[in-house]
Amino acid sequence: MTVPGVPALPTQPHPGLRPDPDWFRTEVFYEALLRSFADSDADGVGDFRGLASRLDYLAWLGVDAIWIPPFYPSPMRDGGYDIADYTGVDPRYGTMDDFRALVAAAHERGIRVVIDMVLNHTSDAHPWFQASRRDPDGPYGDFYVWADDDSAYADARIIFVDTEQSNWSYDEVRGQYFWHRFFSHQPDLNYDNPAVVAAVHDVVRFWARTGVDGFRLDAIPYLVEEEGTNCENLPGTHRLIAGLRRMLDQEFPGTITIAEANQWPADVVAYFGSQDAPECTMCFHFPVMPRIFSSLRQGTATAIREVLEATPPIPAHGQWGTFLRNHDELTLEMVTDAERERMYHWYAPQDRMRANVGIRRRLAPLLGDSRAELELAHVLLLSLPGSPCLYYGDEIGMGENIWLPDRDAVRTPMQWDRSANMGFSACTDPAALTLPLIDAAGYADRCVADALADPDSLLHFLRHVLRVRREHPVLGRGDFRLRPASDAALLAHTRADSPVAGGAGGADGEVLLCLANLADRPCEARVELPELAGRATRTVLAAAPSAPPPAVDARGELAVALPPHGYWWLAVTPNREEDR
């Protein structure tokens, strides 16, 4: 079926980029919320030209890929995730030519571009839905999930429990109920209809032809419904994702897909697919993120260890995606009730700080603006399995505005300098800004310009750590192994190239030992590294000037001392006698 509004576009060249199908393994991603990043035309809304004007800054920082959330025409009732036209650009953000120019400019700087693709639902303003509700027997009549009553799929949970009472809503025009797993203004597409599958493939092709390097697939566990199930992670959903991946591999090789599936690792791992039927290239590892925050307050690495130990192996073609914060709330769906109450107590004592089943706060305020904790959290992010994603503004310790509705608390304009509107926009009317500027004490005046001028700033620290990570690609692609430590406060793990028995690393491979003290007290501990007995180490990254790097003794133990919230990355020196 031909889908109106999906024109063919020529393939965009990729200047400045290696044709590497595994490019994503060692990359650091950066989420740039378009409407809040940089405004080029003084209308108060960030846009493509504004983002393009800041690419040199991102390249300087060490960003390898930018992730751009939805920029499609939208009523903006859900931050743009309520899409009214899959193949359009909202005029507030620019034109299709502006988008293509942004992709080309990013590629010239060696930066790849990933965009959001919302497969589960559209806005109720989308022409497909309007046609479906007005003409049930027409070509779009079966594009959505309709029913005469709201009794079906009763075992499916309600996701937005603070705003929705049901997954069904009645439509007065059609005289039937429509299904929605999220907001009631976001009807779910009907993937039992082959025409919907074909239409979505055409949409993905359209954007792939612009030269984008990947798609973040939003809310994919809920694509298919089946009576008697919870309507999550169903076999039909996996077949759909595998079909999309097959099309991309055949027509746009090297284009990745990232699964946003807020599930337990044992369920999420299925979204990588198999060698014979691969699905997503990357999957976000949601459960590890709240455990980092929990461990910082408990002063022990136990929660992080437990979730990593419960994470099953993934196929060779896959990679985890990790993050500390993003444009949504810090989700607490994947924790126990007791853990959730503790997290609320530690990090969201005010009701305004909470949203859905989570916390709507930015990284710096969450951690009490503690420089030591901010450094440690980022060092953990950059050393754990997966490709890390930073959130715009976190590199300068930006604040939040909990008085804004829903998740807008963490989506305020980027603070570039101390000029009007903090350099985000030359707009003369502050009321026209996409969101109000932060006015919280201690955060209102933070900006990139000041951070650039201060060599000891968090920004310069992150740039340094990103450079170190780039020099050690084993942190992105290496074998990961947790190591026993005598103090529960210490998280110890190795990343190793060319793994041999025990994960030690071969003669030509690199082995890094990563240490992190989650406690606010000094930590002295012994780490067990039996297959590395007798090896020396050298410092790659450390929290502060420290003693000479320790060697692994003849028993395979390494004695280490770290300051409160300290960290230490040690490169294990090859044993030349063994390697001959």
Catalytic residue positions, numbered: 218, 260
In the chain the first and final C-alpha atoms are separated, in Å, by 64
**Tokens linked to 464:** 């340094």
How far is 149 from 427, CA to CA, in rounded Å?
A: 49
How far is 190 from 140, CA to CA, in rounded Å?
A: 10
Contact between residue 342 and residue 323 where contact means Cβ atoms under 8 Å apart: no
How far is 232 from 230, CA to CA, in rounded Å?
A: 6
Which conformational region is residue 32 in: left (phi greater than 0), alpha (psi within -120 to 50 degrees), or beta? beta
| Partners of 178 in beta bridges | 146, 169
DSSP-derived secondary structure for 10-72 = PPPP-TT----TTGGGG--EEE--GGGT--SSSSSS--HHHHHHTHHHHHHHT--EEEE---S
User: How many residues would you count in the chain?
Assistant: 580
E strand segments, 291-415: 319-323, 330-331, 354-355, 358-359, 387-391
Query: Which residue type is seen at 201?
Result: H
Query: Which residue type is seen at 519?
Result: A
The phi, psi pair for 466, rounded to 5°, reads: -65, -35
Q: Which residues of 2-40 are buried (b: 16+ CB within 10 A; e: fewer)?
A: ebeeeeebeebebeebeeeeebbbbbbbbbbbbbbbbbb
E strand segments, 357-501: 358-359, 387-391, 479-483, 490-496
Which conformational region is residue 352 in: left (phi greater than 0), alpha (psi within -120 to 50 degrees), or beta? alpha
The separation between CA 69 and the C-alpha centre of its own chain, rounded to angstroms, equals 11
How far is 78 from 87, CA to CA, in rounded Å?
A: 18
> 3-state DSSP call for residue 189?
strand
Q: Which residues of 504-540 are buried (b: 16+ CB within 10 A; e: fewer)?
A: bbeeebbbbbbbbbbbeeebebbbebeebbebbbeeb
Strand (E) or helix (H) holding 171: strand 168-171
Count CB neighbours of 190 within 10 A. 21
Residues 6+ apart with CB under 8 A from 235: none
How far is 520 from 191, CA to CA, in rounded Å?
A: 51
